[in-house]
Chains A and B, each alone.
Chain A
Amino acid sequence: EAEVAQSPRYKITEKSQAVAFWCDPISGHATLYWYRQILGQGPELLVQFQDESVVDDSQLPKDRFSAERLKGVDSTLKIQPAELGDSAMYLCASCPTPGQGLSGANVLTFGAGSRLTVL
């Protein structure tokens, strides 16, 4: 079964340091998402890509977060500088081009996530 690959699985860093997370979506999935999940809460969308273009980054804290998907395949999410409040699980998800998929539904497949702890 195809999976969304993410790395690293765990990252511990000190505040003010830079961190980066990598995601490789399911082959052929044009849409890629980064979500942030704070412990005990539901995932919240940070950024959505359609191929290499950003579709929605309205919830991305752009003063410290950046995301790119240069060739429209894998993606990197960067935080610089990290703050204590950034401690969370960072989830990547992908799906077929919007409007396609199972019965036209928006079937997201999530990766296992990257857990960030900022000390």
Chain B
Amino acid sequence: QQQVKQSPQSLIVQKGGISIINCAYENTAFDYFPWYQQFPGKGPALLIAIRPDVSEKKEGRFTISFNKSAKQFSLHIMDSQPGDSATYFCAASGGGGNKLTFGTGTQLKVEL
């Protein structure tokens, strides 16, 4: 059972543009929503995270938007750069445990 659905599977954005990746979850017990960035040959690294008590969190060029009623959250990358080219995973955990459930990933390519 896939509890976190992520789209799109791949994304190409021009340098300076905005990259948007969307995720939807089913389990209402989830209370922690991180985004991980993964470069080829490396493990995922935490990029930014949000809890459902806020609707938006911004860190530099990265912003999470959270819609609790719709059970959706998204990652926005402003002024996208070639160095942002990587695979991005949304994830969720909660319900008294700390097991992370990951989305299927979005491969982002930022072109010059």
Contact = CB atoms under 8 A, between A and B. Distances in A.
- Is chain B found bound to chain A in the same assembly? yes
Interface of A: 4, 31, 40-45, 48, 56, 91, 93, 95, 98, 105-113
Given A56-B99, A108-B46, 16 more contacts: A31-B98, A43-B44, A44-B102, A45-B100, A45-B101, A91-B43, A98-B97, A105-B49, A106-B32, A106-B34, A106-B93, A106-B100, A107-B46, A109-B45, A110-B44, A113-B43
Interface in B55-84: none
Interface residues of B, number: 25
A56 B97 contact: yes
B45 A43 contact: no
A31 B101 CA distance: 16
Q: Which residue of A40, A42, A112 has the most chain B CB atoms within 10 A of its CB atom?
A: A42
A42 B44 CA distance: 10
Nearest to B45: A110
B102 A42 contact: yes
Interface string B85-98: 00001010100011
B15 interface: no
Contacts of A113: 42-43
Contacts of A4: 43
